[in-house]
Amino acid sequence: MQSNPQTHPAIETGHVTPLLDSIRLKHGPAAQLGRFFLLADQAAYDRGVRLQLHTDLRSLIDVNRQMQTYWGAPMVPIFDPSHSDLSPENAFWISGHDQNGTVVATQAARFLDLTQSSAAAELESMRLFFARPEPHLAAGARCHVDCPAASQLTGRVIYSGGGWYHPKYRGCGLSRILPRISRALAYTQWNSDYTFSVVETVLIEKNVYRSYGYTRHSPSIRLTGSYREDLELELIWMPQDEMLDDMAAYIRASAENEVRSTETADTNMLPLRRQGNNRRS
């Protein structure tokens, strides 16, 4: 896959290094995490996408603005440094680049210390969206939470979001790869108890959220009078043990696919060998 460099100029995102060179395993099963990151990074590469890690979220906002024609919505304030207190100590984002260097995919994560709070409290107070929510509340912004599961999300919690894929790269499986990488990276960096996000209800109805790997979803959250039009949202989330189970399942599935691919390749080569031709078809 390629982007036309005349219509989709490469976006400068500052000094970056390949994703795998940037990962430091701090928490969790090192062997499993290492294997997962290798497989997931390779899966993105096989789709023509090179992944890089960033800790300056201003560059994510730049990508969102420059790709607005395809993105179609402003970046959620959770990942906007002009609205939230973000630093390398509590946030990162992952970019996916085509062979021309154009950003064609994004995913972000943010660590939340909710040992004295909950996802429900942060949503309702709008502290999740804004470091200083008072002016927004005074202007009429509200987040209505009728979702008991959100009150259960406490402790060391990750909000995962900021996901976007260029139209040319939709439907190729990146939505199965980047959210999982983001969750695993946040887990090994911050030893998370839970990971959650909020998505529009249409993504639940179409089962799109399942491709992200989340194991649970719960209604209902309503955002009104804020940075976008009024939104009906649902909570998607998973605890640490289910995140690790999903990671193990991803590794097993990748191994099974590799075996099937090898067997198919070997079978396809047999007639060529009988004909004395050693080239692969």
Mapped to the 3 state alphabet, what secondary structure does 197-246 carry? EEEEHHHHHCCHHHHCCCCEEEEEEEEECCCCCCEEEEEEEEEHHHHHHH
Closest to 220 measured CA to CA, from 209, 234, 231: 234
Residue 53, pLDDT > 50, answer yes
Q: Rounded to whole angstroms, how far apart are CA atoms 158 and 177?
A: 17
pLDDT band at 226 (very low <50, low <70, confident <90, very high): confident
User: Which domains are delineated in the chain?
Assistant: 19-262 (3.40.630.30)
Band (6; pLDDT cuts 50, 70, 90):
very low
Is 200:232 a contact under the CB 8 Å cutoff?
Answer: yes
CA neighbor of 196 nearest in space, from 236, 249, 230, 167: 236
Contact (CB, 8 A) for 136 and 226: yes
* Torsion from C-alpha of 32, 38, 44, 48, nearest 10 degrees: -170
pLDDT digits (tens, 9 = 90+) for 156-175: 999 999 999 999 999 999 99
Query: Can you give the pLDDT at residue 280?
Result: 39
Helices (H) and strands (E) in the chain, counts: 11, 8
Residue 185 scores a pLDDT above 80: yes
11 pLDDT above the threshold of 90: no
pLDDT confidence of residue 225: 93
d(C-alpha 244, C-alpha 252), whole Å: 12
Question: Token digits for 180?
Answer: 């999982």
Distance of alpha carbon 251 from alpha carbon 259, whole angstroms: 13
